[in-house]
Structure 1
């Protein structure tokens, strides 16, 4: 970004908004490499500004913290039901637009309003509340151990592809009570949707697998989130069950993947945390402030023509909140300096604030702690400026995070060892001891490993 002598920022290099008044594009490598420059320019345009999420997809983006909170808490003026999206209904959005799968309506709590939203949201919050913190941590540590076992002896890994990307879905599969075959297909479907490889097929596989999981739990309920959702007094239909579970799997995985990856990136690129004894909690909070896993989202639609944040909006216009830009509002600097302040909007706010922020935070903390306990000398394996951020208007995550560390040694059993080849002082095998030997999908391999 450049600054005139007047102190007014101009659009970053490569931005077609130079002098044209055109919407500012929030996609492509230029935006991904330096989003803060774009947000600084957008703030200059006002508390809300015109943007383009993808070619042909225009929206208004709120960048001011106070205005963002006002929008998020006003469920009368601003609605979540994407069936209100005027330009989509009028056919102005290309059918193959890359943002359509994120913004298009689905019958779950994210796209509902009023009493229907409350009914669906309660099924999620009350079911997740039954997951005990101890179980959540133990599940996360087991998954973490398994993933570390796959690369620990190499002395190097891509902490995104090999760890942060897979861990959330593995934990969800365990908590939702997925058997091997269904779990394999859920992992394939949810991962494929975000990787952009045959996304249509990935969606088909995901919803087919979740449908089978619902049918299975109808006949054989268990001690898992799927069964608790099913038993809820809201009496969800099978269709509602499928869409609620898919929301938890997909919308929960992407932010958590990025939160783990972005926090690891921060720890590996800022020496201050190591000097303070590895304060993971502080690193995670700083990440939520400065590099939130979802930078722009919370799509809303005015219920009627309205003037908001200095801009005139028509009924059904698409308006989003920039959590990243709002967190960087100058007015928030003093609030952030306050001890323990969590005034950021990384978890959103209002009636549609993230319903699973506490479990997500617990999973991220346990995953990072366990990784650093196993790999205390882990460090970035490439220059920081060579890292590449994934393009796109919504999420904020790296394409890879190469790291190196002292290789883990695989324990060798001896005749003198007990407990299945381990010394009696060992409570459980190390992460590198147990790698899968049977063929099958990755979830099946994990279950095989877990049963050893």
Structure 2
């Protein structure tokens, strides 16, 4: 595939590009990755209808890209100018002034604020938040004998933990998750982006007036001196990392435990190693399957592939982790997978994410012994979208049990215990009622 074939206006259908969208890809992404490997470590693909790009499927090639921000910078604005304003990829790939889309000194400053604030979260307190909220959720369906672990557990639990970590009233948090879910789905980019942006703006305003012992307040007080606009965009990044991918990690791990013979045997024998199951999922079914997008400013060679200037280069964590050149032996306890990224943009919250998922799974197995899938694993459906690896539902059944719901008790002084806002300070629906930086959230989609 030559650079000319990636030129603006080329037709992927006539160029033979394999699509990373649609139900076929969602059902069998491994088949697509296998076909792409015939091109080598990086292959031309169709990211969305009419939008070409390159997918890095080789492990070493992925590492080389992730560790070289000079050759592979993160700023997408030159690419954005070439796509339609309603492109479904924009919610996940459009420029935002945050640590994910910046490089150099700007990245160092913004990332320091994020990592320093996350480091202040006490792991024992975090575990307590997960345990209490998990117990409360399980108590709601334990006596029924069946549940959908997506809608009744994995989708809700990260939201409740997020409320505690970020001091976020539930009336705001509900819309944060609604907006982020819509962004990952890519079905209505502008609506999802507006829901998310408005909710985060409300959280920033609320915490300016009500600071507490939470990540939002610590970000505001950081020596980096983040503006409200910068706060909004860092929080959007953290919400994205803390809700949708966490939901998928919990659900994908439970699917593995309930469907894989090796783990099923351990489960029945009482010798289950949850951490091993988490690592297995992060190797083979990472919750973020394809992301870490970069945009080389000039035509670049990567392991024999020619990458066109200003076109997206997407890292396939799922394909790189299952690269046939890697040995499949001895992966127990091996955390060299790329599910958390690598290089200067490595996920700063991987410890938090891992703890939340492990406790969430541990609680299910402890409270609901005898759990099994209510459908054969091959009949479960996966949500479309190239970015995530996400089930639509995970129905299970188990012997009904009575689980008393714990009384939620938040740590003293935590803003997480603040009551929901009776009347949220929501932006006016007209563009004139929003700050300039809020209006740019809409402008990005419209090419303004």
Band the TM-score falls in, shorter-chain normalisation: 0.7 to 0.9
Q: Which structure has the bigger radius of gyration?
A: 1
Indicate the larger mover: 205-214 or 254-263. Answer: 205-214
Give the drift of 1:109: 0.8
Q: Distance in 1 between matches of 2:396 and 2:417?
A: 27
Per the alignment, in what secondary structure is the counterpart of residue 327 of structure 2? Answer: helix
Matches within 5 A, 1:42-61: 42-61=36-55
Aligned to 1:81: 75
- The answer to whether 1:258 aligns with 2:252 is no
Give the drift of 1:333: 1.2
Q: Distance in 2 between matches of 1:271 and 1:446?
A: 45
User: Which deviations, in whole Å up to 9, do the C-alpha atoms of 1:345-370 show, x marking residues without a partner?
Assistant: 11111111111111000000011101
Q: Distance in 1 between matches of 2:170 and 2:315?
A: 39
Q: 1:299 to 1:133 in 2, by over 3 A?
A: same
Indicate the larger mover: 141-150 or 351-360. Answer: 141-150
Equivalent pairs, count: 400
Q: 1:320 to 1:130 in 2, by over 3 A?
A: same
> Contact 2:91 / 2:193 at 8 angstroms: preserved in 1?
no
Q: 1:198 to 1:330 in 2, by over 3 A?
A: closer
Matches within 5 A, 1:159-238: 159-194=149-184, 200-238=190-228
Per the alignment, in what secondary structure is the counterpart of residue 153 of structure 1? Answer: coil
- The answer to whether 1:122 aligns with 2:112 is yes
Q: Distance in 2 between matches of 1:188 and 1:445?
A: 21
Aligned to 2:373: 380
> Contact 1:149 / 1:434 at 8 angstroms: preserved in 2?
no
User: Which deviations, in whole Å up to 9, do the C-alpha atoms of 1:406-430 show, x marking residues without a partner?
Assistant: 22226xxxxxxxxxxxxxxxxxxx2
Per the alignment, in what secondary structure is the counterpart of residue 154 of structure 1? Answer: coil
Which of 362, 372, 376 aligns to 1:369? It is: 362
Q: 1:446 to 1:392 in 2, by over 3 A?
A: farther
User: Which deviations, in whole Å up to 9, do the C-alpha atoms of 1:166-208 show, x marking residues without a partner?
Assistant: 2112211111111343334434433444456765344323322
> Contact 2:169 / 2:419 at 8 angstroms: preserved in 1?
no
User: Which deviations, in whole Å up to 9, do the C-alpha atoms of 1:366-398 show, x marking residues without a partner?
Assistant: 111011111111110012221111111111011
- The answer to whether 1:295 aligns with 2:289 is yes
- The answer to whether 1:100 aligns with 2:70 is no
Per the alignment, in what secondary structure is the counterpart of residue 337 of structure 1? Answer: coil
> Contact 1:153 / 1:407 at 8 angstroms: preserved in 2?
yes
Per the alignment, in what secondary structure is the counterpart of residue 295 of structure 2? Answer: strand
Which of 269, 293, 318 aligns to 2:312? It is: 318
Unaligned runs of 5+ in 2: 1-10, 409-415, 421-448
Indicate the larger mover: 96-105 or 307-316. Answer: 307-316
TM-score if structure 2 supplies the norm length? 0.84
Per the alignment, in what secondary structure is the counterpart of residue 213 of structure 2? Answer: coil
Give the drift of 1:434: 7.1
Q: Distance in 1 between matches of 2:358 and 2:265?
A: 19
What RMSD in Å do the two structures reach over aligned CA positions? 2.5
> Contact 1:80 / 1:299 at 8 angstroms: preserved in 2?
yes
Give the drift of 1:26: 1.1
Aligned to 1:331: 325
User: Which deviations, in whole Å up to 9, do the C-alpha atoms of 1:421-449 show, x marking residues without a partner?
Assistant: xxxxxxxxx23x779xxxxxxx99998xx
Q: 1:273 to 1:57 in 2, by over 3 A?
A: same
User: Which deviations, in whole Å up to 9, do the C-alpha atoms of 1:120-151 show, x marking residues without a partner?
Assistant: 11111110111011011111112212222332
> Contact 1:186 / 1:209 at 8 angstroms: preserved in 2?
yes
Which of 235, 242, 251 aligns to 2:232? It is: 242
